[in-house]
Amino acid sequence: MPNLAMKELSTTAKSTSFNWRIVGLLLFLTGIPAIPSFFILALVVMGSSAGAEPSTLINALHFETPMAVIVHGLSGIVLFLTMPFQFSPALRSKHLKLHKLGGRVAVVSGYILALSGIWMHHALFPGSFGARYLSLIVISVGMCLSFSIALTHVINGNVSAHRKWMCRAVAITLAVVTPLFIEPLLYLFFNGLENTYAVLQQLQHDYGRLLGMAINLFLVEYVLYKERRARASYTDALIGT
C-alpha cells in the first residue's frame, strides 16, 4: 500500500506539471506557419510601398486581396500564441480562468483559421478547385467539427471527452505542417527514381494535407489508447490490493 500511495502522489504531481514536452512541441509545430505569418502580414499591411525587393518575396496576389491574408494570418498567429498552453496541466489547475479564456480564444481562432483558409484559396487561386482544394475543404470541415464537438463536451461538463476532441482538433489543424516533414523523406528515398519521384511529388502536392491529417490522427489515437491502457492497469492494481 505505501508503494501505491507514493505512485498515486507521483501521478498527481505529474498531472499538474507544466508539461513542457507537449507545450514546446506544439509551439514548435504551430510556429512553423505562424512565425512567417508575422513577416507576410507586415509586408501586406505596408503594401507595395514596402519596396520592390521585399514585395517579390510573396505572391503579388497577397497585395490585391489583403483582407483574406490578414484574417487568415492573424487567426493562425493567435492560435499559435494560445493553443499550445491549453495542454499544460499546471496552467489548468493553477489558473483555471486563464485556461478557459485561452480556450475560448483558441477555439474561435481555430474556426476563423479554417474558414479563412478557404477564403484565401479563392482569393489567391481563383478557378483552382481540384484535389488540393478538396483536401482543404476536408481539413477545414474537420477542424470546425472537432472544435465544435470539444466545445460541446466541455459545456456539458465532460472534461475527459473535451480533452480528447481538442487533441483531435489540433491534429487536424497541424495537417498542413506534417507534409513539410514528409517531403524531405520523399527526396531522400526516391530522388534517384525520377519518374517515381515526380509522381509522388504530385500526389504530395494534391493530397499531402490529407495524408498529414491521417498520420496526425493515428498518432493521437495511439497516445489516447496507451493512456487508456495505463489507467486500466493502474485501476486493476488498486482493485487487486
Q: Residue 1: what pLDDT?
A: 40
Question: What is the phi/psi pair of residue 17, to 5°?
Answer: -75, 165
Helices (H), the chain: 2-15, 20-46, 52-55, 61-64, 66-82, 89-94, 96-124, 131-155, 159-173, 179-190, 194-240
Is residue 151 a contact partner of residue 7, using CB atoms and an 8 Å limit?
no
| CA 167 vs CA 11, 57, 217: distances in Å | 21, 34, 9
Q: Residue 181: what pLDDT?
A: 94
Torsion of CA 98, 104, 109, 115, to 10 degrees: 170
Please tell me whether residue 128 adopts helix, strand or coil conformation: coil
Segment 128-163, tens digit of pLDDT? 899 999 999 999 999 999 999 999 999 999 999 999
Would you place residue 225 in the very low, low, confident or very high pLDDT band (cuts 50, 70, 90)?
Answer: very high
Segment 115-128, tens digit of pLDDT? 999 999 998 888 88
Largest CA distance in the chain: 74
Which residue has better confidence, 35 or 215?
215
Would you place residue 82 in the very low, low, confident or very high pLDDT band (cuts 50, 70, 90)?
Answer: very high
Please count the CA atoms within 13 angstroms of the CA of 178 that sit on its side-chain side. Answer: 21
Q: Residue 232: what pLDDT?
A: 80
C-alpha cell at 79: 492560435
Domain regions of the chain by residue span: 1-126, 128-241
pLDDT at 194 over 80: yes
Question: For the whole model, what pTM was predicted?
Answer: 0.85
Segment 22-61, tens digit of pLDDT? 999 999 999 999 988 888 888 888 765 555 555 556 766 7
Pairwise CA distance, residues 168 & 166, whole Å: 5
